[in-house]
């Protein structure tokens, strides 16, 4: 199964793709798209086009996005929410259901603690995906989101199988 994680952003939108085969996880690719334009509509359109091209090239089987957390700045939170809407639209257009995870859930799944720092996330992503060199901190976060989603999908699959056997 090929899993894509996306860390939404209007300036830097990180993405990461991993291949999952049972307990084995392998880094496929990662990067950062940087939408262009000064007007909000132009930036959102650019984000959609750039992310759609990455999505088409990577052809993931599953996708997950980090949930928006409320910043101190309400306007900033609304702008991030708009970017997140575009980010969720791209996999939905490909017919995928998008997993959503709170930042603390991603950190807990990858690092083991919900309030990990960016450098801890980067370190654990590199440990779990040997040879991986994230393009940016946003790409490292996206890979962490993909790892979190892969773990949740596998766990829910095992749970469903156990319930079916019972």
Domains of the chain with CATH codes = 2-165 (3.30.420.10)
What are the residues whose beta carbons fall under 8 Å from the beta carbon of 101, sequence distance 6 or more?
64, 65, 66, 67, 109, 145, 148, 149, 152
The whole-number pLDDT of residue 130 equals 92
Residue with token string 């083991």: 112
The whole-number pLDDT of residue 22 equals 84
Active site residue 42: no
- pLDDT at residue 82 greater than cutoff 90: no
pLDDT in tens, 56-75: 999 999 999 998 766 677 77
The whole-number pLDDT of residue 118 equals 86
Query: What are the beta bridge partners of residue 64?
Result: 5, 99
Active-site hit among 21, 42, 66, 100: 66
Active site residue 73: no
Q: Percent of the chain beyond pLDDT 70?
A: 92
42 annotated as a binding-site residue: no
Active-site hit among 36, 61, 73, 138: 138
| Half-sphere exposure in the Cβ direction for 24 (13 Å, CA) | 5
pLDDT band for 79, please (50, 70, 90 cuts).
Answer: confident
pLDDT band for 122, please (50, 70, 90 cuts).
Answer: very high
Active site residue 133: no
Average pLDDT over residues 100-108: 91
Residue with token string 């991603």: 106
The whole-number pLDDT of residue 76 equals 77
Average pLDDT over residues 83-90: 93
Average pLDDT over residues 123-147: 93
Active-site hit among 7, 19, 100, 141: 7
Question: Over the chain, what is the mean pLDDT?
Answer: 89
Token pair for 143? 């890979």
The whole-number pLDDT of residue 1 equals 92
Question: Between 166 and 113, whose confidence is greater?
Answer: 113
What is the SS3 assignment for 101? strand
CA separation (Å) from 129 to 23, 25, 58, 81, 121? 12, 7, 17, 29, 12
Instruction: Kindly report the backbone phi and psi dihedral angles of residue 160, in degrees, each rounded to the nearest multiple of 5, phi listed first.
Output: -60, -40
């Amino acid at each position: 199964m090929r899993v894509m994680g996306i860390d939404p952003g209007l300036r830097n939108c990180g993405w990461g793709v991993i291949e999952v085969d049972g307990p084995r996880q392998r880094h496929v690719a990662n990067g950062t798209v940087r939408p262009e334009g000064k007007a909000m509509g132009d930036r959102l359109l650019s984000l959609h086009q750039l992310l759609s091209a990455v999505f088409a090239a990577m052809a993931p089987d599953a996708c997950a996005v980090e949930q928006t957390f409320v910043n101190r700045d309400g306007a900033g939170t609304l702008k991030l929410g708009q970017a997140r809407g575009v980010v969720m639209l791209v996999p939905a257009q490909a017919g995928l259901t998008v997993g959503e995870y709170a930042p603390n859930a991603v950190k807990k799944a990858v690092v083991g603690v919900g309030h990990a720092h960016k450098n801890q996330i980067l370190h654990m992503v590199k440990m779990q995906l040997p040879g991986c060199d994230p393009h940016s901190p946003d790409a490292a976060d996206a890979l962490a989101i993909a790892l979190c989603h892969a773990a949740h999908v596998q766990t829910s699959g095992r749970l469903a199988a156990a319930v079916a056997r019972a």
